[in-house]
Amino acid sequence: MTATTDGSAGALGPRTIVTTGTHHTTAPAPTPAPDVRTDAETAMRRSVDHLLGRQDGEGWWKGDLETNVTMDAEDLLLREFLGIRDEAVTEAAARFVRGEQRDDGTWATFHGGPGELSATVEAYVALRLAGDPPDAPHMARAAAWVRQRGGIAAARVFTRVWLALFGWWRWEDLPELPPELIFLPSWFPLNIYDFGQWARQTIVPLTIVSAKRPVRPAPFTLDELHTDPRCPNPPRPLAPAATWDGLFQRLDRALHRYRRVAPRPLRRAAMNAAARWIVERQENDGCWGGIQPPAVYSLIALHLLGYDLGHPVMRAGLESLDRFAVRREDGARMVEACQSPVWDTCLAVIALADAGLPADHPALVRAADWMLAEQVVRRGDWAVRRPHLPPGGWAFEFHNDTYPDIDDTAEVILALRRVRHPDPDRVDAAVARGARWTLGMQCRDGAWGAFDADNTSPFPNRLPFCDFGEVIDPPSADVTAHVVEMLAHEGLAHDPRTRRGIAWLLAEQEPRGSWFGRWGVNHVYGTGSVVPALTAAGLPPAHPAIRRAVAWLESVQNEDGGWGEDLRSYREEEWVGRGASTASQTAWALLALLAAGERNSAAVGRGVAWLARTQREDGSWDEPYFTGTGFPWDFSINYHLYRQVFPLTALGRYVRGEPSFGKGR
């Protein structure tokens, strides 16, 4: 492994960013060429050609969505549990898992990140399933590291659930999830709609798994992953009863006692109701919500209730999971947690249009037609909180009519307005539906979350079961900014609802001048989203909030001219705005600075020069770093198309100025 270093100009002076190795300081970057604009135009043209060459014949774009090896490990564990694991899939998955192991024997959850306990445990088990012996050097290193970090007992709950399926962990030592949750009304604390959509879809099937507590005979033991195999899970003291943790720990103990006395007819009815809930939400392609984790748990839950593998629901679900697999040139098989065609397509359209592709170019029209056909026109779970709101949003994936999201909807509308479509009335009608739905999903505080309105209950995160990632969907600056930008371009900048969103954004600015990035890494993403929205809504570049943002971005620019931010910024203050330069994060910073009127600044010139200098011959950029966020810190994403669409958008706005709208009307 190598160390990656960079520096920043400004008050802090040169600095070192270390991702995996020893400290050293990067030499000063070369001075940008005198005519940065010429280099930018050349890079822009190359990037346009590259992106056009990646469009599917149906009109969409999709880059790989890379996460971490737990997706691959859990896919193998699912197949082992259902009895359908085969050697070809196992070897291809093991090839990928082995290739991701670090020199110290561990697995990380993002490029250059530290070893992570649960990921290492799951990867180790996957390789044991593939036949790697525990005394092999790479396995022994992993097992020793796991023991040093507390063994399996210190892993997250979801990891231990997978191990319990095979008898490697006791169900009694896991938090209880009663299926009777399905009967709680939507106004009752801890009902299933208090959870974010991703958590909701996972928890409902897991209530069935928790009630059934299945165990399939394990093909081997995992004693080498325990600090003491004779006592793998020593008792832990309870937190004080007067604390939230103590209260919910005692609630979990009460639920364990309830399990022993739960009326069988009630429990049976609850599991059947949960099964109906699951089946009703299966998408047309067989998946659930377009994401992998709920799919694997739903398949296990339904199988436990008697759905055989030939049942249409099970067959379609298993086939959908196969479509999440990406085959690499070396024969490795990587499992995507999700697929992002709607998101990738709208961002690609924005990038190409802002780079000067004619508004009626066939590629843009094809993309618009595909996006128009993807609009969600039926009600989903969001309607529980907004029962009278007509549908009209867009989802992230190929098939996900249950969970359209606000972020995609805003960006799709911004993309459609850049296209001169032969049927403008069709575009206008779709945009009107999307904007109406988006406005209806505004939260009480004036901002927007990703999937639901007012999904802000403080209780779900307190449950002992929820020890991994976010389980609620509160408003975020990046989503709110995209909505405000869309509403401004729809002529609604002075609408009271838009002004409430602007006021929320201004109040959320960090003292340093940045904004927190919920769905992208991190403050660079948040700031790159908010500044263009505020200026689109009419705030002048001289506004104090804009000036503070500009000053912050300039202070964290790397010596090489780019910008980067490590995922550790979600946990460690010293990493905020700091990291190896990446194409996507450099583009986000440039989008903010350009929107703030800084086109002729030295910072912008150096950033544009960095993009032009690091572009490959084929018009693409390389970016191994993870700049997307599923859950802050806990689940990170490398969107492989981010490195193409955002730099092109920034170069286009640098060369051609801010985008003009109205072309699609």
Question: Hey, which residues are catalytic here?
Answer: 407
Q: With contact defined as beta carbons under 8 Å apart, do 167 and 215 qualify? A: yes
Partnered with residue 108 across adjacent β-strands are 115
Q: With contact defined as beta carbons under 8 Å apart, do 592 and 524 qualify? A: no
One-letter amino acid at 436 equals R
Cβ-based neighbours of 330, under 8 Å, separated by 6 or more: 95, 99
The 3-state DSSP class for residue 464 equals coil
On the 0-12 / 13-18 / 19+ scale of CB atoms within 10 A, 464 is middle
- Give the integer Cα–Cα distance in Å for 438 and 62: 24
Q: Which of 145, 448, 164, 398 is nearest to 284 (CA)?
A: 398
Tokens of 127: 């390789």
DSSP code string of 108-159: BSSTTPPB-HHHHHHHHHHHHHTT--TTSHHHHHHHHHHHHTT-GGGS-HHH
Backbone phi, psi, residue 632, to 5°? -50, 125
Tokens of 403: 């969970």
- Give the integer Cα–Cα distance in Å for 491 and 97: 50
Query: Position of tokens 């984790």?
Result: 293
Residues in the chain: 665
The half-sphere exposure of 11 on its side-chain side, counting CA atoms within 13 A, is: 4
One-letter amino acid at 25 equals T
Q: With contact defined as beta carbons under 8 Å apart, do 537 and 498 qualify? A: yes
One-letter amino acid at 12 equals L
Q: Sign of torsion, CA 445 447 452 453?
A: positive
Cβ-based neighbours of 577, under 8 Å, separated by 6 or more: 8, 514, 523, 524, 552, 555, 556, 563, 565, 569
Query: Position of tokens 């002075």?
Result: 494
- Give the integer Cα–Cα distance in Å for 295 and 276: 15
How far are the Cα atoms of 189, 406, 455 from residue 441, in angstroms, in the given order? 21, 8, 11
Distance of CA 509 to the CA centre of its chain: 22
Q: Which of 262, 73, 77, 264 is nearest to 164 (CA)?
A: 77
Query: Position of tokens 């505080």?
Result: 445
- Give the integer Cα–Cα distance in Å for 452 and 178: 24
Q: With contact defined as beta carbons under 8 Å apart, do 406 and 447 qualify? A: no
Q: What is the DSSP letter of 91?
A: H
DSSP code string of 229-241: TTSSS---PPPPT
- Give the integer Cα–Cα distance in Å for 156 and 466: 9
The three-state DSSP-derived secondary structure of 515-570 is: CCCCCECCHHHHHHHHHHHHHHCCCCCCCHHHHHHHHHHHHCCECCCCCCCCHHHH
Partnered with residue 629 across adjacent β-strands are 636
Q: Which helix (H) or strand (E) holds 636?
A: strand 635-639
